[in-house]
Amino acid sequence: MEIIKTKIPDLLLLQPKVFEDDRGYFLESWNQATFQSQGLDINFVQDNESQSSRGTLRGIHLQVAHPQGKLVRVTQGEVYDVAVDLRPESPSCGEWSGFTLSSENKSQLWIPPGFGHAFLTISETATFNYKCSELYYGDDQYTLAYDDSAVGVEWPLKKNELKLSEKDSEGWSLDKVLNQIKQQNR
């Protein structure tokens, strides 16, 4: 597996080795020893899968008291995946990076604890899988506004093409999210 550092420290793009022949393909999507060799000692405790139609935007979510690291990939279709550094002590706090993840490119993204995460389905449908380093706590989940101008995520679809849950359409500003994090981390 090739592990590629991104412009934001600790956010990693992973490209597994794919073995293809006329029968199909094989790849190793997770290997604890590979991660440990990169200094990442992660214990995954929950796996999730979602399927979404074109234009569905899920996020930008984070947990504060129980921050989740996520290893994400797409097994059918294509999404635009976004991670926002929301670690108040980080020099890249408030910065975002976006990557196209698809069943075709088989790329994966490691999103460390302390990052907000979202994805936008850009194919007709997409199946999205993620391994989490912490359990989901609904009362600990916060949503950063997907269109917060202080962050400035550049989504590949127009605003009128987006499908959002009520929670995701009422996300907080970057300042409000960071204030919540600082209050809880006292």
**66 is known as an active-site residue:** no
When divided into structural domains, the chain yields a total of 1
Instruction: Look up the CATH number of the domain holding residue 162.
Output: 2.60.120.10
pLDDT of the residue at 185: 80
Q: How confident is the model at residue 186 (pLDDT cuts 50, 70, 90)?
A: confident
The Cα 68–Cα 25 span in angstroms is 30
Q: Which two tokens stand for residue 54?
A: 């074109």
pLDDT of the residue at 153: 98
pLDDT of the residue at 184: 87
Given 25, 66, 80, 130, the catalytic residue: 130
**β-pair type (12-15, 108-111):** antiparallel
Question: pTM of this prediction?
Answer: 0.94
**117 is known as an active-site residue:** no
Q: How many residues does the chain have?
A: 186
Q: What percent of the chain has pLDDT over 70?
A: 100
Contact indicator for 144, 174 with CB cutoff of 8 Å: yes
Closest CA to 117 of 135, 99, 138: 99
Range of the domain at 64: 2-184
Tens-place pLDDT, residues 17-49:
999 999 999 988 988 998 898 888 899 999 999
